[in-house]
Structure 1
C-alpha cells in the first residue's frame, strides 16, 4: 500500500507543477500580445464608393491615440486588380477614438475597389 500512496502523491505533485507552468505561459502570452498592440494604429476598411471614372471614396474607421496625427496610404484597383489610384491622407489629432473617415482618392481609370493599405503615426 505504501507504493500506491507514493505514486499518487508523485502524480499530484507533477499535475500541480504542470498547472503552474501552463498558467505562467498563458500569462506571458497575454502580456506579449497586449504589449505588441497597445499604442499602435489600427484601421478597418468599411467600404468604398465609386464616384466617377476619376474618383473613388474610401471609408475606414481608425483606432489610435487621438492626440497624435496619423498618415494612411490609400489604394484603388480596377477589375483586373491593377492599381489605378494611390495617395495618402493625414488625419489630424482628434477628440475621440475610434473615428470614422471618408476620403476621396483620384484615379486614372474606373476603380472597382478602394481601401486603406497602411496607417502609421506622423512623428
Structure 2
C-alpha cells in the first residue's frame, strides 16, 4: 500500500516543518557539544575571614591544561555584589585543579560564586605559564 502524498496546499507546511526540525536538531547538537567541551568549574566552598574578606574555594577543569582567568563574586544577604575579583590561574599539568582565592568585600559576604572562567590568551602580560 503506497504512502499517500500530502495535498498540494499542505506541501508548504511539510517543507516548513522539515526545515524547522532540522534546524532544531542542529542547534541541540551544537549546544550539547559546546557544553561538554572547554573549561568548567565547580564551587567547593568559602571561608569568611572577617567582615571585609572571604576565601573562595573552587575547582577548575580544563582538558587543555592552559592558563585560565576566572572571575569570583561575593554576595550579601540581599544577593547584591559586595566583592569581585578576577584572577589569572597558571597552566597546570593536571586537568583538574583546586584553588583558594581571597576576595575583598565592602561588607560581610554570605555567599560566593565563580561567575566565569575562560582561557587566558598566552600573550597576556604578567601571566607566566607554569611548567
Normalising by structure 2, report the TM-score.
Answer: 0.66
Please point out which of 72, 75, 78 is paired with 1:74: 72
Contact 1:66 1:96 in 2 (8 A): no
How many angstroms apart in 2 are the aligned matches of 1:107 and 1:66? 32
Please point out which of 58, 61, 76 is paired with 1:63: 61
Please point out which of 37, 50, 74 is paired with 1:52: 50
Please point out which of 13, 17, 34 is paired with 1:36: 34
RMSD, matched Cα: 2.6
How many angstroms apart in 2 are the aligned matches of 1:59 and 1:34? 28
Q: What corresponds to 2:16 in structure 1? A: none
Normalising by structure 1, report the TM-score.
Answer: 0.70
How many angstroms apart in 1 are the aligned matches of 2:39 and 2:61? 6
| TM-superposition CA deviations, 1:3-53 (whole Å, max 9, x none) | xxx8xxxxxxxxxxxxxxxxxxxxx89964663245411001111111101
SS state of the match for residue 34, structure 2? helix
The count of corresponding residues between Structure 1 and Structure 2 is: 104
Q: Where does the alignment leave 5 or more consecutive residues of structure 1 unmatched?
A: 1-5, 7-27
How many angstroms apart in 1 are the aligned matches of 2:39 and 2:79? 26
Q: Where does the alignment leave 5 or more consecutive residues of structure 2 unmatched?
A: 2-25, 122-131
Contact 2:65 2:95 in 1 (8 A): no
Deviation at 1:88, TM superposition (A): 0.6
Q: What corresponds to 1:118 in structure 2? A: 116
Matched, 1:105 2:74: no
How many angstroms apart in 2 are the aligned matches of 1:84 and 1:48? 15
